[in-house]
Structure 1
Amino acid sequence: MRQLLVINPNTSASVSALLQAHVQQAAGLHVNVRTVTARFGSPYIADEASYAVASHATLDAWACDLVTEARGPDAVLIGCFGDPGLMALRESSPVPVTGLAEAAFIEAARHGRYAIVTGGVRWGPMLQRLAQALGQAQQLAGIHTVAPTGAQLAADPGAARALLAQACRDASRQLGVDAVILGGAGLAGMAAAVQADVPIPVIDSVLAGAHWALRNAPLPPARERAGFDVTWQNLSSEMTSLGITPALRSG
């Protein structure tokens, strides 16, 4: 059975439960989805500082899972629309790695140019920078952030549906895009709820992440021992155990 590791880079257990439910449903019975929660950081990633800490927390969560689980995953999904730690984890992991944002970008780009709707105004420039880094700047027509954060939207689903549906319609009309991404782990399931009120495809970032991981997970798995190319000081024992010197790695 395939093993999919989902890492929630924030400390919210409720977000982890939401990710587990939606990703497992998308994956089906032939995939074992295992969701882990960051051991430190913020309950919601909303600015550059919490994003930076979440990148470390992502690596730490992956290292903990690799050290403690008898079998490593066949693919890793970073369960945050912003993908903290994506490049570092991809460099270190012998299995495919993606995040909610990258997977959603790829899916939305199949329709043409797209827009993003998400919660939290500070996410705008952060997501623009990520799109540039992932080669999606030309396909991304714009980012529409609503004032409530993803956590606040998830806390009031009824109000969130109306607000997000309007934001998606505004993005469609103002930007003339072919699809819109509804981004955020806490917004899992919202795309289906608002689709009837939006004239273009609405991409659920959590489902996009699950679909990417399932397409790219190798079967059967063939992996070398994963690890980092440096030694660590004063980090978790799990990360330290995976750190080796470049000389030892090459030899």
Structure 2
Amino acid sequence: MRELLVINPNTTPSVTRLLAQHAQAVAGADVRVTTLQARFGAPYISDETSYAVAGHATLDAYLQHTRNHHAAPSAVLIGCFGDPALCALQEISDAPVTGLAAASFLEAALQGPFAIVTGGERWPAMLTRLAHALGYADTLAGTYTVQATGAQLAADPVAAQVVLRDACLAALEKFQVNSLILGGAGLAGMAAELQHALPVPIIDSVQAGVRQAVRAMSRVAGVARHKPDVSWFKTDSVIPD
């Protein structure tokens, strides 16, 4: 059976469980979803510092998994909207790698200009930088944030729907785009609840990530490539508190 490895780069168990639930539902019965949580780092990634540490934690989780199982999964999904360590993991992985943001950008750009709705005031600059790096500078119109983090929104889905609906409508008025991305692992499943209130498609970043990862499994089967030596990367050391 094909395996999709989903890595949660933050240390919040409820987000890991949410990723596992929604990823398996989208992946289908013929794909086994394995979800790993970062061994260290921030409970929620919301700034440059926690983002940098999350990149290290993502690589640690991937290498620990592959060394323990002596094989790579069929595909890897970075379960953070911001994709920490995306390029590094693509460089070392035997399997195709995508992230919630990269996959969502790809889907949204097919419909023209798009905007992002997410939680956390420092994310707009970080996501703009990522969009530029991935080639979406001309299609990302902007990012609209709410004060609560994704984890806080996930803790109260009923209240979150009101907050996010208003944010989506405000983003549409501000940016005049063809689609919206609801970005964040903690917001998995909420886009479907909001779609009826919006005049444009809204993309669930977790669903987009899983769809792209599953599609990539068959495209790269049997493709060999040169990878850097990462035998020096230690995953068995004790992580300090």
Give TM-score scaled by structure 2 length.
Answer: 0.93
Asked whether the 8 Å contact 1:169–1:199 carries over to 2, the reply is no
Verify the 8 A CA contact 2:117 2:143 in the aligned structure 1: yes
Identity %: 57
Secondary structure, aligned partner of 1:137: coil
Q: In 2 relative to 1, CA 110–219 (structure 1 residues): closer, same or farther, beyond 3 Å? A: closer
Which residue of 2 is the match for residue 7 of structure 1? 7
Task: Find the aligned partners of 1:223 and 1:105 in 2 and give their Cα distance.
Answer: 25
How far the C-alpha of 1:227 sits from its partner, in A, is: 6.2
Q: Paired residue for 2:77? A: 77
| Aligned-pair Cα RMSD in Å | 1.9
State the distance in 2 between where 1:228 and 1:10 align: 26
Aligned position for 1:17: 17
Q: Is the 8 A contact 1:93 1:226 kept in 2?
A: no
Instruction: Report deviation, 1:111.
Output: 1.2
Amino acid of the structure 2 residue aligned with 1:195? Q
Shift of 1:159: 1.2
**Structure 1: unaligned runs, 5 residues or longer:** 239-251
What stretches of structure 2 of length at least 5 have no aligned partner? Answer: none
User: SS of the residue aligned with 1:117?
Assistant: strand
Aligned-residue offset at 1:231: 5.5
SS of corresponding position for 2:218: coil
CA distance in 2, matches of 1:160, 1:230: 42
Give the secondary structure class of the aligned counterpart of 2:144.
strand
Match of 2:94 in 1: 94
Q: What is the total number of aligned residue pairs between the two structures?
A: 237
Match of residue 243 from structure 1: none
Give a deviation string over 1:28-68, Cα, whole Å, max 9, x none. Answer: 10101100111111111111110000000000000011011
Q: Aligned runs of 1:1-150 on 2, under 5 Å?
A: 1-150=1-150
Please report how far the alpha carbon of residue 110 of structure 1 lies from its aligned counterpart in structure 2 after TM superposition: 1.2
List structure 1 runs of 4+ shifted beyond 2 angstroms. Answer: 218-233, 235-238
Per-residue deviation at 1:226? 8.7
Offset of 1:218 from its aligned partner?
Answer: 2.8
TM-score, length basis structure 1: 0.89
The CA deviation at 1:10 is: 0.7
Q: Give the secondary-structure state (helix, strand or coil) at the position aligned to 2:148.
A: coil
Shift of 1:236: 2.4
Moved more, 220-229 or 86-95: 220-229
2:5·2:34 contact (CA, 8 Å) conserved in 1? Answer: yes
Bigger radius of gyration: 1
